[in-house]
Chain A
């Protein structure tokens, strides 16, 4: 009751884990604990979905829908008729949106006439 933070989108497949322990290094909430042969998912509800573990897992044993848990940004996006999940903006001046989105970079057109990645 009155706890919206019990479930997250984090999932871990221990069978794939090669015990490189990168996830234990990048997680700021000790969600994973190092073990003798593989890491264990010990504190799943402490996950804040920053996505660091999944991005740094070389065998893709971890998946998480990463995003910023910011009501200001999500409500703002919803009010502007934009997608709460992908177009959330956490403030800044001139609509700088923390310096732009990943998706924006992808469509930037270069002088050489090619589209950037």
Chain B
């Protein structure tokens, strides 16, 4: 990604993080105005699919700077967005048919909400981009519509003080913008974030990818040490935690993700507990031990993956997640340790010819 720089100004965009820094706010970047449309092409859809599959996650970027959508004039609305293609494309496709300015902030290819949480979609970057694009000379009004979920990074009063632009918080979802623009007020529903089945479903490929390598290694080791059924148990545990858990999230009992995960883990482990526990080829103590190993290990893995899903949801607080970590991680570790010990005892017994 290349950003044109003005000569003689201070800029350190070559540092490792690619951070741009402005010693004076307005002089750092003079970006030419670019043009965009409201049309989502096949290439865009392919890019969205790859982003959802976690392919080069941080490289789904658009060039930061000011864009013309349609044929905007001095009275046209100005919208802020992130330089993540899914964010930018959601905005421009929702605004199809509307003449507008889009100011894309450099969020390093991260969506609006996550970038706002980290401060890259933030007051400083917005102020810089307003100055660098010379927005004040292009529009006669002083209003910029920022997505509501950008608010954790933006202080409207500071933007107003530094640029004279007034931040107007638009709806959560870009698709509500045409309705919002009729009155410039959002209904309570437009202000609420949701987490529908579809919202959860699209996250599952990336969730699974995070655990894929671990799963493959664990399945391989188990295949050769304990047989194909044990390998299947490992794969089932990870699929349960990364795909089944997000899908079943609202209907699993209890509020805590760890306990929801433990409940799901027990359910996922039941077929394996039954098969291992009733294996006629094993002495009773070994059958009990292998059933216990399946129950404890699968439950520990599913609940740990469930806990890790907190960061993907739009509602868990840091205070709550921290409390969960301190309450349950030791329980999960205990279950995993006892389960692993049972597995090792079985493995050693097998090697020694006891079973």
Contacts and interface: CB of A to CB of B under 8 A. Distances in A.
B318 A100 contact: no
B192 A4 contact: no
Given A25-B169, A68-B311, A116-B23, A98 B120 contact: yes
A47 B152 CA distance: 13
A56 B156 contact: yes
B117 A110 contact: no
Contacts of B169: 22, 25-26
Interface string B244-269: 00000000001111010000000000
B124 A8 contact: no
B316 A48 contact: yes
Given A2-B259, A68-B318, A69-B320, A28 B148 contact: yes
26 contacts: A2-B259, A5-B320, A6-B320, A7-B319, A7-B320, A9-B319, A22-B156, A29-B315, A50-B116, A50-B152, A56-B151, A66-B318, A68-B318, A69-B321, A70-B310, A72-B310, A74-B321, A75-B325, A85-B318, A92-B58, A98-B110, A100-B19, A105-B119, A108-B19, A109-B12, A112-B23
Which 8 A-B pairs have CB atoms at the shortest separation, nearest pair first?
A: A70-B311, A99-B108, A52-B151, A67-B318, A69-B316, A26-B151, A3-B255, A28-B193
A117 B158 CA distance: 15
B325 A71 contact: yes
Interface residues of A, number: 62
Interface of A: 1-9, 22, 24-30, 46-52, 55-56, 58, 65-75, 84-85, 90-94, 96-102, 104-105, 108-112, 114, 116-117
A111 B6 CA distance: 14
Interface centre among B10, B107, B156, B321 (most CB of A within 10 A): B321
Contacts of B325: 71, 74-75, 84
B317 A48 contact: yes
B45 interface: no
Interface of A is mostly: loop
B115 A99 contact: yes
Interface centre among A50, A55, A71 (most CB of B within 10 A): A71
Interface of B: 10-12, 15, 17, 19, 21-23, 56-58, 107-110, 114-120, 122, 124, 148-149, 151-157, 169, 172, 186, 188, 191-193, 210, 254-257, 259, 307-308, 310-311, 313-325, 327, 329
Given A29-B315, A100-B19, A105 B157 contact: no
A57 B349 CA distance: 66
Q: Which of B118, B256, B315, B316 has the most CB of A within 10 A?
A: B118
B209 to A, nearest CB: 10
Given A52-B151, A93-B57, A100-B17, 12 more contacts: A7-B319, A27-B191, A48-B314, A55-B152, A55-B153, A56-B157, A66-B152, A69-B321, A71-B310, A75-B308, A75-B329, A91-B57
A71 B308 contact: yes
A110 B321 contact: no
A2 B256 contact: yes
Contact of A25 (B12, B148, B307): B148
Contacts of A7: 319-320
Given A4-B256, A110-B11, A71 B327 contact: no
A6 B323 CA distance: 11
Nearest to A58: B157
Contacts of B109: 99
A16 B107 CA distance: 34
A24 B190 CA distance: 12
A100 B319 CA distance: 22
A69 B114 contact: no
B110 A99 contact: yes
A69 B318 contact: yes
A47 B317 contact: yes
